[in-house]
Structure 1
Amino acid sequence: MTIHAGQLVMVDLPGPTLDDDTAQYLQDHHIRSVCLFGKNVENETQLRALCHELRRVMGPHALIAIDHEGGAILRTPFWPAPPSAMALGAADDPALTRDVHHALARQLRSVGINWNFAPVMDVNVQSENPVIGVRAFGADPALVTRHALAAVDGQTAEGVASCVKHFPGHGDTRQDSHLALPRVERSREELETTEFAPFRAAAQAGVPAFMTAHIVYPALDAQHPATLSRAILTGLLRAEWGYDGVIVTDSMGMRAIDDHYGRGEAAVLSLAAGADLVMALGRRDAQLATLQSVTAAIQDGTLPHDALRSSVTRLETLARTFPAHAAPDARHGSDPALFRTAWARGLTTVGPATPPAPGSAVTLVARREEARENVSEAGLPARALARTLASLYDLQTFEYDDAHTLDWDALRAEGRTVLLATAGRHRQAGLHGARPHLHLCLYNAYSVLDVDAPALVSYGTPPEALGAVTGWLRGETPATAHLPYDRHRPGETTAEKRPRPPST
């Protein structure tokens, strides 16, 4: 078997169509795997045509991947939005999670996408985690395990390969690996009971794929992040846990890798560590550097042929098991109702939260703009949320930004119900000592820790989630779920108790 570097490399595309130059590039380098992003997506018809062209160019072993987690992590605004993982964890009904992921996979299969980089299997034990948060099902390993495996079952049943991430766990970090190289300073025993538990169960269940984390775990490998660590990918995942599915890296363009290694060097290290597929995203020159380094390592024996043949076989098996054929499904039409129900099932109240009476005088306090921060949901600007609530109340709106210091005593003294809406966690002066009558926590569920007030938590702001929120405000939709973390001890992990080393 002749092995080409392109068989071991995943790339992204420059736009929404497969231009002749890119098609030739894929063929010349024997590339069989691509990851799609928002820049590649315009509408359903266009996306189906793009996937058809990709399969024609890359052949029957084409792997067409996307991040379609639900909640904030969606590239397809033309489809109804599935709930975030934490909304499903709050509802804690694995059957509902399975049904949602059946539908989520049907969306992808209808256009020919055969690989979904979901579900997130991280145990979010760090309340200040800047990148996982509501992308995780919760802070309890058992809860995360049952929901993540239900999600895998739902996607598998619909013919879409799932990929659990970010192994061996991104839930106990205060840094985002898109921007820095985090460390998790936990002992092996602590990792066994928390981060490892869901991933070990996934390995035993034979899930289709694992995605690696760009994080250093000194208890496992003091030198290399997991993506580049043979002790973690081969020693732990392959040898100890017996996993023989596909291992794909997270994007090698993230600064956790890009700031510390050359693209080519990192690609060779990851394949030598036991990864099957390197995600070489970004500029064409960075992709070519990866391909050239991997080619050289194949030719000089740095990467053993037996191991590479096993990787190619795993990838081809994945593509055969989950072919990239577009298959529209009549059940697609019932999915919007399912998603609306699922978002409503995740509604959570904290404290004695009650909605203002219909037609009453309400002051909405919200940020003028909610900027998207990397993978986080941007949230709604104050004016958009005001339009949503205007039909419910005698509404006035107070918009604030980082420059404002809010006078909560004065706001409450007006005799109106003060309703604070947040998306992210904003600890600037404006929210210091915030005392609204009701807090609408519309995205980051940990923002209830910053505001001393009764709260309603929705875990997201797409129209389906806002419909559930307004239903609760009208008294029509009950909030029956529970926070999937202990708000009295939200970040009290052993790792947090010991001093942290300087960031790398």
Structure 2
Amino acid sequence: MVDIPGPRLDVDTAEYLRVNGIRAVCLFGKNVESQAQLRQLCTELREIMGEEALIAIDHEGGAIVRPTFWPAPPSAMSLGQAGDLQLTEDVSAAAGRQLRSVGINWNFAPVLDVNVNPDNPVIAERSFGASPDLVAQQGAAALRGLKRAGVAGCVKHFPGHGDTHQDSHRALPRVGKSRAELETLELAPFKACLTDAPAVMTAHILYDALDAEHPATLSRPILTGLLRDEWHYGGVIITDSMGMQAIDAHYGRGEAAVLSLSAGADMVMALGRREVQEATLKAVQEALEAGLEVQDKLERLSDLARRFPAKVEQNKQAQEDEKLFGEAWARGLTFVGNPQSVAVGQPLLLVAQAKAQRENVSEASVEAQTLADELAEWYAVKLHAYDDPSALNWAELRAQAEREGRLLLLITAHRHRQTALAGATPDLHLALYNPYTAQDVQSPAVQSFGFRPLARAAVWAWLRGS
């Protein structure tokens, strides 16, 4: 599987895919402009790659969606908090219908990581929660929904990325838990969902109890010994992006590709510059000539593509699905410390981060001015936008709020916890992104587990008491 440069299939890229017999592409934000454009791109990709084309995307919900022109489904943790398996299935089916409407047939979701580490820099609200049973039940519901819509799901990040303090995009995390500990937490949701999972994505993480030498993506004891032999999994195993630093900084691209295929992976996600894709192709070709057996891998991939063809199917339920997403975001709202709604017309002193950047897999969050503009429909808002949270003077902000008769409102909409906010003293805290920020700010809080427009609409409705 490769990625491609832009929103249109240029002649050079089309020829590259055709000549090398590449039948799988992963799409990102750089490939997305509009629904019509995305549908055209997928149609052209299918024409080049053939009937068994696999066109994939990360469409988890929350912060992890690439086409921002669609209403965003709730994040996994929002659905986990709502606690309604039928709702999760219906939301996932609606997300699948979005993908089918442009011809995407493989969604890299749901996330089955059990997020038990509040400082996890990459999972957080992408996880359904901190209970393996909850994650397993919600994950199974999400898989059922995607299947209903005719889209292949892919559980990730096997064997589990929920209890790490490092991001495998930037480093090679290590988990030192015993096999028994892994069985009861990280491994449990994957084992429970394998029967219904068309595909599994590997994690670039070292698990000492399973294989102290190689990360899971390159580990034969994990991919073949555990997943195939012990658990008898017969679906597709795909690596996470081999361009992540956990792999790229420790192995050559070609070397890593061959190691992963030899370990038991069916497909290598060779993302990045053309030269690293070509290095992967060259190494795999040499391994094939040296006797690497892949017929079973090809059969599994063909079966996946035949079961979930990359054909366009018009979404006739788009309006109903948008309403469903809005209701689901509202049902996921969670309250800490008995927060109270605010009367319409109340003057507010809004404290929010001026601009939140895009980070790795997550899209850019909402800016402070947007929050102020939206709240100004119901409240008299004065905005205090900050760049560095450590520079905030809460005593001065409190004095200003009291002097001007304003309610002191903090809105956080950033991916990572900001320990500099530990001394914050707002009257009310709205945590629109990382829910664990509510642990840092000792004030009544509302957690929405996402910052998308429908999530904000749900929070604003609660704020007004409606």
Fold agreement, TM-score > 0.5: yes
Classify 1:29/1:99 alpha carbon distance in 2 versus 1 (closer, same or farther; 3 Å). same
Q: Which moved more, 1:128-137 or 1:45-54?
A: 45-54
Q: Secondary structure at the match of 1:453?
A: coil
CA distance in 2, matches of 1:128, 1:351: 21
Counterpart check, 1:333 vs 2:319: yes
Taking only aligned residues, the RMSD between alpha carbons, in angstroms, comes to: 1.2
Q: Which amino acid letter does the alignment assign opposite residue 372 of structure 1?
A: R
Shift of 1:15: 1.2
Counterpart check, 1:280 vs 2:266: no
Q: Aligned residue for 1:65? A: 56
Q: Aligned residue for 1:362? A: 348
Q: Aligned residue for 1:19? A: 10
What are the equivalent positions in structure 2 for 1:35-434 lying under 5 Å apart? 35-203=26-194, 205-301=195-291, 303=292, 305=293, 308-402=294-388, 405-413=391-399, 414-415=401-402, 416-424=406-414, 425-427=416-418, 429=420, 431-434=421-424
Classify 1:428/1:93 alpha carbon distance in 2 versus 1 (closer, same or farther; 3 Å). closer
Q: Which amino acid letter does the alignment assign opposite residue 35 of structure 1?
A: C
CA distance in 1, matches of 2:89, 2:21: 36
Q: Secondary structure at the match of 2:439?
A: helix
CA distance in 2, matches of 1:376, 1:387: 24
CA distance in 1, matches of 2:14, 2:384: 52
Q: Aligned residue for 2:459? A: 469
Q: Which amino acid letter does the alignment assign opposite residue 359 of structure 1?
A: G
CA distance in 1, matches of 2:196, 2:417: 40
Q: Which amino acid letter does the alignment assign opposite residue 110 of structure 2?
A: P
CA distance in 1, matches of 2:385, 2:52: 52
CA distance in 2, matches of 1:70, 1:213: 20
Q: Secondary structure at the match of 2:207?
A: coil
Shift of 1:14: 1.0
Q: Is residue 166–residue 213 contact of structure 1 (8 Å, CA) maintained in 2?
A: yes
Q: Secondary structure at the match of 2:174?
A: coil
CA distance in 1, matches of 2:315, 2:323: 16
Q: Which amino acid letter does the alignment assign opposite residue 367 of structure 1?
A: Q
Q: Is residue 377–residue 443 contact of structure 1 (8 Å, CA) maintained in 2?
A: no
How many equivalent residue pairs? 461
Q: Secondary structure at the match of 2:410?
A: strand
CA distance in 2, matches of 1:377, 1:11: 20
CA distance in 2, matches of 1:187, 1:105: 37
Q: Is residue 402–residue 428 contact of structure 1 (8 Å, CA) maintained in 2?
A: no
State the Cα deviation string for residues 333-367 of structure 1 (Å, max 9, x = none).
31111111111111111111002222122211111
Counterpart check, 1:436 vs 2:410: no
CA distance in 2, matches of 1:325, 1:375: 26
Q: Is residue 98–residue 150 contact of structure 1 (8 Å, CA) maintained in 2?
A: yes
Q: Which amino acid letter does the alignment assign opposite residue 451 of structure 1?
A: V
CA distance in 1, matches of 2:347, 2:53: 58
State the Cα deviation string for residues 236-267 of structure 1 (Å, max 9, x = none).
00011110100000000101000000000000
CA distance in 1, matches of 2:367, 2:223: 43
Q: Is residue 140–residue 196 contact of structure 2 (8 Å, CA) maintained in 1?
A: no
Structure 2 unmatched runs, 5+: none
Q: Is residue 367–residue 399 contact of structure 1 (8 Å, CA) maintained in 2?
A: yes
Q: Which moved more, 1:149-158 or 1:361-370?
A: 361-370
CA distance in 2, matches of 1:375, 1:268: 25
Q: Which amino acid letter does the alignment assign opposite residue 214 of structure 2?
A: H
State the Cα deviation string for residues 292-344 of structure 1 (Å, max 9, x = none).
0011011012x2x2xx1000000000000001110113122311111111111
Q: Is residue 389–residue 418 contact of structure 2 (8 Å, CA) maintained in 1?
A: no
Shift of 1:206: 3.7
Q: Which amino acid letter does the alignment assign opposite residue 244 of structure 1?
A: G
Q: Secondary structure at the match of 2:348?
A: strand
Give identity over the alignment, percent.
61
Q: Which amino acid letter does the alignment assign opposite residue 77 of structure 1?
A: T
Shift of 1:371: 2.1
Q: Which amino acid letter does the alignment assign opposite residue 187 of structure 2?
A: F
Q: Is residue 342–residue 465 contact of structure 2 (8 Å, CA) maintained in 1?
A: no
CA distance in 2, matches of 1:94, 1:69: 16
Q: Is residue 237–residue 243 contact of structure 1 (8 Å, CA) maintained in 2?
A: yes
TM-score with structure 2 setting the length: 0.97
Q: Is residue 377–residue 460 contact of structure 1 (8 Å, CA) maintained in 2?
A: no
Q: Secondary structure at the match of 1:278?
A: coil
Shift of 1:53: 1.0
Structure 1 unmatched runs, 5+: 1-9, 477-504
